[in-house]
Amino acid sequence: MKKLAPRLKNWIGRNLVLNLFAVIGALLGLANAALAWLVFGVGIDADVWMMTLVVIQAFILLSQLGVEQVAVYSAEAHARDPQQGVLFDRDSLTWSMVFGLLFASIAFWLLDYIIHVFAPGYSLQTKAQLSSTLQPLLLQVALAPSQYVLRQQLLLKGRARTAILLNSSFSAVQCACLTWIWMIGQSNPFLLSWTIALSSVGISFYFLLLVGERGVGQHVPNWPSLWPFVRASVQLRAIHSVHNFIVVLLTNAALSGGIPGTVAIFQYFKKLADGLSSISVGPHLVVYHAAQARAWVANDRLEFQKNIRLYLKAALPLFLVSSIAFAVVAEFSMKYFAVRNFQLASPEGLLLLLLLVWQTVISLESIAAGVLVLSKNSGLILIVNLIYVGLFFVAINVIIQPPYTGATVAIASLGCQLVSFVLFGWLAVKIYRHKFISHCNA
């Protein structure tokens, strides 16, 4: 027992410090889902608000198109020459601000068409309400690339706590605004959208001035040195983001044709599952990828293996425990809080379970997919993602018949994710052996 105590203390100190520091930010995500439930309930307004969040999140992921590979290229620049690394960090952050504005402008121009393909089951009136709610939040989309670049730079510098706070800033703003709307007794998605958008601008500039590189936005970037980074980022993120965008589009297009509240129920529970993953897996995942970028550049096989073991030991057991604990608490509390008839044996309980399993598979797949990202094998990622999208399209349009429910769509997504996981794992093993073992033998 005496030997166990120091080991347990060391495990807690090493593995839980990031979780404890990030728990507030992750709980904000859970609180946002609960507050949205309280403010909008389950109906048309709820569907509009949750669909707004879905579209904005899809835009935010796509907005990484021009900055995806910043961690790899920043690590390489600092390894060659620290001064070059500083200049690259400054210029890449400037570029991210310019790219964010360009991307948000294009999204605004295409907004009506995007709404049509995302929510074909909505009436013209509901689509108009969705458009007016989406427009202000495009300010968050404009800010997202610079937030991503700044977060990666902080992680490479070992400032994980500040990076986690930055990553939670949009959730904190949303939670504060939802609380205010709830307290004044309003349930207007348009008012909430503008409040969140303006608050997000303020908090983003605060972080940029507080921890951003000196001279950001004050110098013309060195475009020749940035071009390889931008090109690689576009190639990789276009493949990954378009895949996510299509899957989200197919999911919500199917759900939009259901009874009012179908989209809201699915997104409420998805955000609960995402929140649990953020508490347990999220903090370790961002640190893990930054550490692997350094190990890959240094060609350090032992460090690469060590990072995988630390990630698995730290993140997945915590996700399992938190999921079980949440399910037990939900059984006794949610029926009194939001879903009056909630039980784990109900369709809603099945949906939550499926989404938690889906998050577990994604957490494991990130290890294998990360190897392909580091090796810059965008073509292989494209092939796997096309297989996923093709299988999901067939499942939604051929195998599953309307009316769609959250559980049936989640089953289709989980099945496709398992196929993707197997393919990514097989490719990652081959690339790993070529990178480390073959070179060592040579």
Taking only the tens place, the pLDDT of each residue in 319-329 is: 666 666 566 55
Give the pLDDT score at 21. Answer: 58
Give the pLDDT score at 106. Answer: 92
Of residues 337 and 83, the one with the higher pLDDT is 83
Q: For residue 406, what are its two tokens? A: 């959250």
- How far is the C-alpha of 25 from the C-alpha of 279, rounded, in Å? 8
Read off the pLDDT of residues 226-268 as tens digits, 9 standing for 90 and up: 777 877 777 766 666 677 778 878 887 778 776 776 777 787 7
- What is the SS3 string spanning 383-416? HHHHHHHHHHHHHHHHHCCCCCCHHHHHHHHHHH
In this predicted structure, the answer to whether residue 426 has a pLDDT above a threshold of 90 is yes
pLDDT band at 316 (very low <50, low <70, confident <90, very high): low
Give the pLDDT score at 135. Answer: 92
Share of the chain above pLDDT 90, in %: 6
In this predicted structure, the answer to whether residue 332 has a pLDDT above a threshold of 70 is no
pLDDT band at 138 (very low <50, low <70, confident <90, very high): very high
Give the pLDDT score at 315. Answer: 67
Q: Where are the beta strands (DSSP E) in 121-245?
A: none
Read off the pLDDT of residues 244-254 as tens digits, 9 standing for 90 and up: 778 878 887 77
Check: CB of residue 316 under 8 Å from CB of residue 335.
no
Indicate the average pLDDT of the chain: 77
Give the pLDDT score at 320. Answer: 66
pLDDT band at 136 (very low <50, low <70, confident <90, very high): very high
Of residues 378 and 195, the one with the higher pLDDT is 195
Classify burial at 253, counting beta carbons within 10 Å of its beta carbon; exposed 0-12, middle 13-18, buried 19 or more. Answer: middle
pLDDT band at 41 (very low <50, low <70, confident <90, very high): confident
Give the pLDDT score at 19. Answer: 56
Taking residue 238's Cβ as centre, other Cβ atoms within 10 Å add up to 17
Q: Which amino acid is at 70?
A: V
Give the pLDDT score at 11. Answer: 43
Report the candidate in 327, 310, 295 with the shortest Cα–Cα distance to residue 432: 295
Give the pLDDT score at 405. Answer: 77
Of residues 377 and 431, the one with the higher pLDDT is 431
Give the pLDDT score at 338. Answer: 47
Q: What average pLDDT score do residues 386-404 get?
A: 83
Q: Any idea which of 58-67, 184-193, 334-343 has the lowest mean pLDDT? A: 334-343
In this predicted structure, the answer to whether residue 14 has a pLDDT above a threshold of 60 is no
Give the pLDDT score at 238. Answer: 67
Q: What average pLDDT score do residues 191-204 get?
A: 87
Give the pLDDT score at 123. Answer: 82
Q: Any idea which of 220-224, 270-274, 384-388 has the lowest mean pLDDT? A: 220-224
> Which residue, chain included where needed, has tokens 């999140």?
57
In this predicted structure, the answer to whether residue 111 has a pLDDT above a threshold of 60 is yes
